[in-house]
Amino acid sequence: MNYKNTLAAFAVAGCAISATAVHAIEIEVGYPYSALFDVTFERMMPEFKKAHPDIDVKFRATYENYEDATNTILREAVAGDLPDVTFQGLNRQALMVEKGIAKSLEPFIANEPDFAKDGYHQAMLDLGTFNGEVYGLPFSVSLPVGYYNMDALEKAGITELPTTWDEVIANCEKLHAAGYKNPIFWGWNITGNWFLQALMWSQGEPILKEGKINFDGEAGLAALETMQKIFKGCNMLNLSVGDAGKPFAAGEVAMHFWSTSAVGAIERSKGDFVVKTGEFPGMGQAPMGLPAGGNSVMMVSTSEDPAEVEAAWKFIKFATSGVGAAMVAETTGYMPPNKAANDLLADFYAQNPNKHTAVRQAGLLRDWIAYPGDNGLAITQVLYDGLEAIVTGDAEDMQELQQELVEEVNDLLPN
């Protein structure tokens, strides 16, 4: 072998590598809930880099929750400092579209000869479709479930998982007798009034109808009264979102009602006891529907560089592909929104039944309703404050509370 030619070949290869590194396209991405998704992206990014070595992904500071995600993007839009891609709560997508911040993904989809929209469950794809165009591709989809410390239930003589809230309250009495001072946490404070909407949808009713209040009747009152019965009947503590899961992981709380998104985190952090998930209980009967939680990926890039925009699309496509969806399901507890993930997960669900509970409820998927207009986030806060008043005992009369909430929300809704 000619030594000089070999050196020359290495030099050419080195230049090629350097050129690739120099010309790598960088995109910026923002996502919520570090505790849930850090592990997902730690697993996903090496695979994305293998598929797209010419794209560097820079993650911005993690959004605390979906409200923070929306507020952050709204501020960045005003400041002219948007990322290329953002992960937004399913109930906040409409606002991104209304404000002209999110870009339609239809032109990108149209240019993908191998892109099959039917890879996504239609009910899930519809969650990101506005005015007949796709603006958000579903990344993670969740439903509320129950988490049970089976050792604690056995100690209290409970042999069946509850199917109604009355059964949950009866279990609390047994758990109290078995020495559990705080037997339950019920996720009233999850982002976007999600559990209030879960009680409304359980009765087959949305929280809003055609942009108008729909919790001013019997269904709304039943939802508030059910919460009060759970909180008082179970002596539930008022814990923050960040602290809500800790007593369950420590074995102090026996029944924890939360999003299926937390299955992975709970299984990684729990103490030495058996945990089992079960379908979300109903109000006297099985729920008629449940709000779809989770988030979608949206293109918000303002770059004028076509290569950067195309790189952002490649990231969106990879994250929501069958491979990406499978990684989300395996590392969290979310349902895969892409049908292509189902074949990849058949054995996984057989070995991880706790993550299959939400999938069994998939037929109950209903819209996680956004409050319209510029006061959408303010309405979320008004309802949050009202629900907290039930937890703390500051609100005793549910009819009175209902009327107060109806009046305040009416004042904030668009005319």
Q: Is the pLDDT score of 86 beyond 60?
A: yes
Q: Report the pLDDT value the prediction gives residue 348, as an integer from 0 to 100.
A: 92
Residue 12: its pLDDT value, please?
Answer: 40
Give the rounded percent of residues in the chain with a pLDDT score beyond 70: 94
Both 284 and 382 in one domain: the answer is yes
pLDDT at residue 104 is higher than 60:
yes
139 contacts 320 by C-beta, under 8 angstroms = yes
In the chain, % helix, strand, coil (3-state, to 5) comes to 50, 15, 30
Clarify whether residues 137 and 148 are in a common domain: no
> In this structure, are 316 and 223 located in the same domain?
no
What percent of the chain lies above the pLDDT cut of 90?
Answer: 83
The pLDDT value given to residue 382: 97
Instruction: Look at residue 2 and tell me if it is in a domain.
Output: no
106 in Cβ contact with 313 (< 8 Å): no
Transcribe 382-402 into DSSP letters: HHHHHHHHHHHTS---HHHHH
What's the pLDDT score for residue 19?
A: 39
* Together in a domain, 31 and 89: yes
Q: Are residues 135 and 248 in the same domain?
A: no
CA separation for the pair 68, 365 (Å, rounded): 25
In a domain, 11, yes or no: no
Q: Judge whether 398 lies within some domain.
A: yes
The pLDDT, as a whole number, for residue 88 is 97
Query: Do 286 and 178 belong together in one domain?
Result: yes
- Are 150 and 246 contained in the same domain? yes
Specify the pLDDT at position 115: 75
**Radius of gyration of the chain, Cα coordinates, nearest whole angstrom:** 23
**Domain range for 340:** 24-141+293-365
Tell whether 10 is covered by a domain: no
Domain count, the chain: 2
243 domain residue, yes or no: yes
Residue 144: per-residue pLDDT: 97
Residue 15 has pLDDT above 80, yes or no: no
Q: Is the pLDDT of residue 11 over 60?
A: no
Average pLDDT over residues 174-194: 96
Is residue 394 included in any domain, yes or no?
yes
pLDDT in tens, 27-68: 999 999 999 999 999 999 999 999 999 999 999 999 999 999
306 in the same domain as 360: yes
Give the lowest-confidence range in 10-24, 78-92, 174-188.
10-24
pLDDT at 4: 35
Q: Residues 180, 219: one domain?
A: yes
Whether the pLDDT of residue 17 is over 50: the answer is no
Residue 390's contacts (CB-CB under 8 Å, 6 or more residues apart) are 188, 224, 227, 228, 231, 398, 401
Give the CATH number of the domain where residue 218 resides: 3.40.190.10
Task: Say if 5 falls within a structural domain.
Answer: no
Together in a domain, 243 and 271: yes
104, 94, 126: which is closest to 414 by C-alpha? 94
**pLDDT band at 415; cut points 50, 70, 90:** confident
Q: The pTM is what? A: 0.86
Q: For the segment 120-147, what is each residue's pLDDT rounded down to a tens digit?
A: 777 777 889 999 999 999 999 999 999 9
**Cβ atoms 334, 142 nearer than 8 A:** yes
Q: How far is CA 320 from CA 12, 137, 140, 313, 351, in A?
A: 37, 7, 9, 11, 23
Q: Is residue 61 part of a domain?
A: yes
- Provide the pLDDT for residue 155: 97
pLDDT at 159 over 70: yes
The answer to whether residues 154 and 270 belong to one domain is yes
Q: Cβ distance 175 to 185 under 8 Å?
A: no
Question: What's the mean pLDDT in 103-119?
Answer: 86
What is the residue whose two structure tokens read 């309405």? 379
Is the pLDDT at 14 greater than 80? The verdict is no
Are the C-beta atoms of 295 and 90 separated by less than 8 Å? yes
Q: Phi and psi (nearest 5°) for 338?
A: -110, 125
Are 233 and 164 part of one and the same domain? yes
